[in-house]
Amino acid sequence: MRIGDNNKIRFKKLLTLSNVAQLAVVKSLLEDLKIPYYVTNEYFSTLYGAADGLTRMELFVEEENFFRAKEVLRDFL
Protein backbone atom coordinates (compact mmCIF):
# COMPACT_ATOMS: atom_id res chain seq x y z
CA MET A 1 0.00 0.00 0.00
CA ARG A 2 1.34 3.42 -0.91
CA ILE A 3 0.44 6.94 0.09
CA GLY A 4 1.92 9.59 -2.13
CA ASP A 5 5.14 8.90 -3.99
CA ASN A 6 7.68 8.43 -1.22
CA ASN A 7 5.69 7.28 1.79
CA LYS A 8 5.15 3.57 2.36
CA ILE A 9 2.90 2.28 5.11
CA ARG A 10 4.59 -0.46 7.08
CA PHE A 11 2.66 -3.02 9.07
CA LYS A 12 3.67 -5.11 12.06
CA LYS A 13 2.01 -8.27 13.39
CA LEU A 14 0.07 -7.46 16.53
CA LEU A 15 -1.53 -10.80 17.34
CA THR A 16 -2.77 -14.16 16.14
CA LEU A 17 -6.37 -15.17 16.72
CA SER A 18 -8.35 -18.31 16.06
CA ASN A 19 -11.76 -17.04 17.11
CA VAL A 20 -13.80 -14.94 14.66
CA ALA A 21 -15.83 -13.32 17.46
CA GLN A 22 -12.65 -12.04 19.12
CA LEU A 23 -11.42 -10.81 15.76
CA ALA A 24 -14.65 -8.85 15.26
CA VAL A 25 -14.19 -7.08 18.61
CA VAL A 26 -10.53 -6.28 17.91
CA LYS A 27 -11.34 -4.92 14.46
CA SER A 28 -14.08 -2.75 15.92
CA LEU A 29 -11.71 -1.28 18.51
CA LEU A 30 -9.07 -0.54 15.89
CA GLU A 31 -11.62 1.02 13.54
CA ASP A 32 -12.87 3.29 16.35
CA LEU A 33 -9.29 4.48 16.83
CA LYS A 34 -8.78 4.79 13.06
CA ILE A 35 -5.75 2.50 13.19
CA PRO A 36 -5.09 0.88 9.80
CA TYR A 37 -4.92 -2.91 9.91
CA TYR A 38 -5.24 -6.02 7.81
CA VAL A 39 -5.94 -9.65 8.63
CA THR A 40 -4.59 -12.79 6.98
CA ASN A 41 -6.80 -15.89 6.62
CA GLU A 42 -9.84 -13.95 7.79
CA TYR A 43 -12.25 -15.40 5.25
CA PHE A 44 -10.62 -18.81 5.04
CA SER A 45 -12.09 -19.54 8.47
CA THR A 46 -15.60 -19.46 7.01
CA LEU A 47 -14.86 -22.69 5.13
CA TYR A 48 -15.00 -24.53 8.44
CA GLY A 49 -18.41 -23.15 9.39
CA ALA A 50 -19.10 -23.54 13.10
CA ALA A 51 -15.76 -25.25 13.74
CA ASP A 52 -14.25 -22.01 15.01
CA GLY A 53 -10.64 -22.14 16.07
CA LEU A 54 -9.23 -24.18 13.20
CA THR A 55 -7.71 -21.22 11.36
CA ARG A 56 -5.00 -18.92 12.64
CA MET A 57 -5.76 -15.33 11.64
CA GLU A 58 -2.89 -12.88 11.93
CA LEU A 59 -3.72 -9.25 12.54
CA PHE A 60 -1.25 -6.60 11.41
CA VAL A 61 -1.45 -2.92 12.33
CA GLU A 62 0.26 0.13 10.95
CA GLU A 63 3.74 0.15 12.46
CA GLU A 64 3.53 3.71 13.77
CA ASN A 65 0.38 2.78 15.73
CA PHE A 66 1.65 -0.59 16.99
CA PHE A 67 2.23 0.37 20.63
CA ARG A 68 -0.99 2.39 20.79
CA ALA A 69 -2.98 -0.58 19.49
CA LYS A 70 -1.19 -2.97 21.84
CA GLU A 71 -2.02 -0.77 24.84
CA VAL A 72 -5.68 -0.49 23.88
CA LEU A 73 -6.00 -4.25 23.39
CA ARG A 74 -3.99 -5.14 26.49
CA ASP A 75 -7.08 -5.34 28.70
CA PHE A 76 -9.09 -7.18 26.06
CA LEU A 77 -6.49 -9.87 25.48
Domains, the chain, with CATH or none: 9-74 (3.30.70.790)
Distance CA 21, CA 57 (A): 12
The reported pLDDT for the residue numbered 14 is 95
The reported pLDDT for the residue numbered 13 is 96
The reported pLDDT for the residue numbered 4 is 46
CB–CB of 77/23 below 8 Å?
no
Distance CA 50, CA 4 (A): 42
pLDDT tens figures, 24-75 = 999 999 999 999 999 998 877 666 555 556 678 899 999 999 999 999 988 7
Mean local confidence (pLDDT), 20-24 = 88
Q: Is 52 helix (H, G, I), strand (E, B) or coil?
A: coil
